[in-house]
Amino acid sequence: MFENRIDQIVAMLAWIIFGYFMLSVWTFFQTSAEQQAIALVFTIAFIGLLMLRNAKQAIKRLLWIAFIVLGCLADAYVKIYYDHLEFNRGFPTDFDVYVGGILILAVLIGCWAAWGPVFSLIGSSAILYLIYGNLLPGTMYPAGMPVSDAISLMSVGLQGIFSGLLGVVPEFLILLVVFGSLLEAVGANSFFMQLGNIAGRVLQGGPAHAAVIGSGLVGSTTGAAAANVVITGSMTIPLMKRLGYSPATAAGIEAAASTGSQLMPPVMGVAAFLMADFLGVSYVTVMLAGIIPAFFYYYGIGLSVQLIAMKNDIRAPEGKLDRTVIKHLAPVILIPIAVLIVLMTMSYSIAYTVFFCIFILLGLSLFRSTTRPTLKGLSKAVVGGVTIGIKLALVLATVGMVAQIIITTGLGGKVAFVILEVSNGNLAVMLLLTAVLCFLIGQGVPTAPAYVLMAILVAPSLTRQGLEPLYVHFFIFYFAVMAAISPPVALASLTASKIADSGMIATGLQAVKLAAGGFVLPFLFFTNPGLLMNADSFGAGFVSIVASFAFVSAMTIMLFDFCLIKLNWKERGLVVLSNLSLFWFLIYHTAPMLVVGIIAGVAVFVLQKRRGQPKGSLPATRSEEHTSELQSQAYLVCRLLLEPKNTPPPPPSPDRNLNHNAHSPT
């Protein structure tokens, strides 16, 4: 009874939040800090209600009620006394300090409740570093700051929590994730999975290819790897296991495909929109730059799936293709996404664009009963979208405090100095250290805050080394995404392993192996601008793309030790030579290495072809089987038509007579 009542309040609050931010696109004119204060009131109340619903003991319920009341009152103080706080910025009263302290605690506790301890501990450590860093030995410590000044800097001084990152919540975050949830409610999952089934009917991997394509397209709208695994993996993982894929492989395929969905244009999740803000470019620029790397990422996974199926002789049955679903859902799903791209291309704001896309989506869904969401389904979509947005708001508020501390203490410059010293100015080592740092920060947290923190902490130092900002931010973005499948935490791999009942580490290692392109390609952005559609000439860009295609193919064959059949020692050597040569070319652009790499790769294919194909390694396609069956039937028909109808049977052969007599009872 208590849980049901809280659920009703949560649903009502979700609709209020959604309606408020839809109206704010047109009607509300406030400062950024005031809008952030309103967003934070909604955030604290919503997460508090979610935790109150799950609390079973009376004392815990009282504590969460106190969290809601005190947090909302502290945030309301910022909104009501905004002019006072603005006027006294840097010189808070004692009461201001108490309010600011409550607000900081509310954000850290809420972030812990939403995402676990990782980012809350990072935020708490950053605060302690700001106040007591002068007690640390060495050169990394700051001058130290009084507690009252530190609290003012991070909250009531209208910085830190209200420094701007939280501003994306009212600007576009809530509307964007609700748009993704509404796409899911009208049937986007079914539509994209049917598109995946088309590939599954042609290629030997079958449903595994459907999982790769479907998960990539579904997650492109949700932008959350773990959530995408739950949505699509509950269907694809059990099916892959039944067909012969091992549990860890099935889970790894789903985790890798779902994680890469955030790299997939046209909707690349929240982090891509934040990247556009950091770079000061339109989202369309970011979207176009992401097309080729995303293609290579999914090409590598698709080729891996095909090699696994051939290596293990997995013959998938022909997947059921529902053309009615495709026909009914195509306009409902594709038109709003097309409008989103067109309006963004025309430089309309994200909030304005998503506002219209939501109305178009809901309007188109009403024309057919198969796409028309029920009120319950619509409410579930809104609540789900708002929940994701609220959880992201909490971690962005925490990152806002950490970012303010990094700027105030100069920690970013100190980290950059350490990276520069350790790498001794070597670009490859600098990038490798940056990638490792992205992994450490991205473990167990969403992509967006991990990307933001790295963009603040290390991106400026890399750009000061003369690197193009677009390449730097895409590099950081890719490794923030890849952290979702990389052990030890690996949220996407962990979620998939639960569904597949496989080991988490084994699943994570399989996912990393399948998604190897996502770990290597970012290093090539700096020497191959054509991968991000920023080449100096068409010819240079085209050659880089061709070489990258060959490299991803050779790397995948090497990792799975299989091409047409299992590699022998000579073919393994040629594959390794092809990989090294192509990678050398992509780094240094020496033409002979490109020739060597391609020749070595072709030689492997020729040798495999000559050695033959064992039974089951390359079965005939369904179209070939169908053609053979038709030819056999045609032959039988012609024979019946051409043979004389009254021809007497031929006399029995002597052998047959002897055989008959030998077995007769007389």
Q: Give φ, ψ of 562 to 5 degrees.
A: -160, 140
264 CB-near residues (< 8 Å, 6+ apart): 216, 217, 219, 220, 290, 294, 298
List alpha helices for 186-290, DSSP H. 188-202, 207-222, 225-243, 247-259, 270-279, 283-289
Q: Give 566's strand partners.
A: 562
Give me the pLDDT at residue 650, please: 47
Buried b / exposed e over 585-612, threshold 16 CB at 10 Å, is bbeeeeeebbebbbebbebbeebbeeee
Q: Which two tokens stand for residue 252?
A: 């790894």
Does this model's pTM top 0.85? My answer is no
Give CA–CA dist 67/49, Å, rounded.
10
pLDDT at res. 221 = 56
pLDDT (0 to 100) of residue 139: 61
| pLDDT score recorded for residue 490 | 73
What CA–CA distance (Å, rounded) separates 622 from 624? 5
Chain segment 446-503, per-residue pLDDT in tens? 788 888 888 888 888 888 888 899 999 999 999 888 888 887 767 788 888 888 888 8
513 token code pair: 């192996």
Give the whole-angstrom CA distance, residue 495 versus residue 361: 30
Give dist(CA 327, CA 332) in Å, integer.
10
Angle between helices 174-185 and 323-345 (to 10 degrees): 160
What whole-number distance in Å separates Cα of residue 358 and Cα of residue 18?
11
Collect contacts of 79-82 with beta carbons under 8 A, ≥24 apart: 79/34, 79/37, 79/38, 79/41, 82/31, 82/33, 82/34, 82/37, 82/158
Cβ neighbors of 484 (< 8 A, separation 6 or more) are: 225, 226, 255, 259, 442, 447, 490, 491, 492, 493
- Quote the DSSP letter at residue 562: B
- Per the document, the length of the chain is 666
Residue with tokens 């690996």: 490
Token pair recorded at residue 411? 């920690």
DSSP per position, 330-396? HHHHHHHHHHHHHHHHTT--HHHHHHHHHHHHHHHHTT-TTTPPPHHHHHHHHHHHHHHHHHHHHHH
Number of other residues whose CB lies within 10 A of the CB of residue 478: 25
Q: Residue 214 in contact with residue 232, Cβ under 8 Å?
A: yes
Assigned token pair, 156: 């009531």
Give, in order, the Cα–Cα distances in Å from 509 to each of 5, 475, 485, 497, 600: 43, 21, 8, 11, 28
CA proximity to 482, closest of 280, 283, 258: 258
- What is the separation of C-alpha 653 from the centre of its chain, rounded to a whole number of angstroms? 73
Q: Which residues of the chain have pLDDT under 70?
A: 1, 28-29, 138-141, 189, 193, 196-197, 199-207, 218-224, 227, 231, 316-322, 444, 489, 612-666
The span from the CA of 94 to the CA of 88, in Å, is: 12
